[in-house]
Amino acid sequence: MQVFLREIFKGAIVGTSIFVVLLIIGYFSGEFDNGLNYDELWKEYYLNLMYSVIIYMANAYLFIYLLKEFDKKLFGPKSFPISLIGTVTVSLAALFFSRFIHRTVLEGMPVKEFWAKESLGYYWVSMVITLVVSVIFYVFFYYKYRQESKFKEQKIIAGTASAKFDALKNQLDPHFLFNSLNVLTSLIEENPQQAQKFTTSLSKVYRYVLEQKNKDLVSVDEELQFAKTYIELLKMRFEGSIVFDIPDASQDPEAKIVPLSLQLLLENAVKHNIVTASKPLHIRVFEEDGGLVVYNNLQEKQTVKKSSGVGLRNIQQRYGILTDKTVEIEKKDSDFRVRLPILSKRVSVMETQKEYISDKRYEKAKERVETVKGFYGNLMAYCIVIPFLSFLNYKTGGFPWVLFPILGWGFGIAMHGMEAFGYNPILGKRWEEKKMREFMEDDRF
């Protein structure tokens, strides 16, 4: 209901604006030289408002449908002509409906008489106005769409760095370190030799973290060897309550995965499941269909606080930066498994960032060239078509309808030019940068 009322309000603004333009044209064409009849003026205003609101609402709901149907492809070479034709068709249908209400309901004309007197000539000027208004509307929306695309590109770049930071921050759960130190404290008193072995394994774990922190990918073999070292810590901590089945090496020596993703999955399995001698936890790691699968029997802890899912989300974010392949998560009543995609490309964090930003800059430069070229084509068409329409209006005489395409299309060209050359006389570039920062910091965007 709120959306409906908002659109009606917008339609009323459009209708009022059109009426003001018609008044100005009438004034300069000498229609009001003999004075104004305010009763007739108000009547014309309300009729104009009715026509405008009906036509606007029809187009508003058509546009909502087009957005759902085409989404980002609305301005594509195939979808845009369909959208424009649909806009004109719906506008003419809404105009016919408005005329029907006007003549039969408000003026009391019989329906048969209305049909007899109806002519296509009534729709010629309206069709021109509809085309001009539709073009202006699409130009405005396209400008808004382009600005939002820029905001999203900037946020994606910023989000890449943020995801990298989160990946490093969450690579080792703080609880793991805390629990490991507790185990080490008890081992020092009970079994000094075992404590020394535990300390050695713990140092290897953190040395691996420091070595891999600047890498996007590591070989599966490296990750498996690290996982075995990590498993030694878990075995010392839980003794015989965990049963592991993990391969010595990958089937493909060149296979790679995101570093420390295997450790996070092992830690997740231990953290969220009961691990006791009477209910041992079985963890199995194996390759399947181009992925590395981590499987465990499910015996969840009864905790009051729900899991935040930071570990799994962390892995998904890092994979999302590097590849279109997704991390598959499958939870059943008796077991839980995660499949990590095995990749083949190895690239550093800085290289990934540079390549990503370079590609985006190339795309933006290419889009700018296309926009400038489109602007010149639009301007050339304007210079050819407008003189022809002016000549046609001059020969036919009567209402100066050529002013509508002159003003409407001209305004659209001015907006197109400002977008093409990055100029905004009202808001300026500082406003654009400020709005970009606001959108980038807004989590809802």
If you average pLDDT over residues 370-385, what whole number do you get? 79
pLDDT at 77 over 90: no
Q: To which residue do tokens 């629990």 refer? A: 179
Q: Which of 154, 158, 204 is nearest to 361 (CA)?
A: 154
CB 296, CB 241: distance < 8 Å: no
Q: To which residue do tokens 């249908």 refer? A: 93
pLDDT at 346 over 50: no
Pairing of strands 281-288, 242-245: parallel
Q: Which residues pair with 407 in a beta bridge?
A: none
pLDDT at 347 over 60: no
pLDDT (0 to 100) of residue 397: 66
* Residue of higher predicted confidence among 275 and 171: 275
The whole model's pTM is what?
Answer: 0.43
* Residue of higher predicted confidence among 252 and 189: 252
Identify the three-state secondary structure at position 341: strand
Max mean pLDDT range (16-30, 120-134, 232-246, 400-414): 232-246
**Model confidence at 283, in pLDDT bands (50, 70, 90)?**
very high
- Residue 162 token pair: 């943020």
Max mean pLDDT range (15-19, 54-58, 251-255): 251-255
For all residues of the chain together, what is the average pLDDT? 76
pLDDT at 266 over 80: yes
Q: How far is CA 374 from the centre of its chain?
A: 25
Q: Which of 424, 418, 420 is nearest to 369 (CA)?
A: 420
Q: What is the DSSP letter of 306?
A: P
pLDDT tens for 30-56 read 777 677 777 787 888 888 888 888 888
From CA 265, how far away is CA 429, in angstroms rounded? 46
pLDDT tens for 208-228 read 777 776 677 889 999 999 888
52 vs 95, 96, 104, CA distance in Å? Answer: 9, 12, 18
Max mean pLDDT range (93-107, 300-314, 386-400, 409-423): 93-107
Max mean pLDDT range (50-64, 345-359, 424-438): 50-64
**Model confidence at 285, in pLDDT bands (50, 70, 90)?**
very high
**Model confidence at 149, in pLDDT bands (50, 70, 90)?**
low
pLDDT (0 to 100) of residue 176: 61
* Residue of higher predicted confidence among 409 and 2: 409
**Structural domains of the chain in order of their starting residue, each with its CATH number:** 1-118 (no CATH), 145-167+357-445 (no CATH), 172-212+215-347 (3.30.565.10)
If you average pLDDT over residues 67-91, what whole number do you get? 75
Q: How far is CA 58 from the centre of its chain?
A: 27
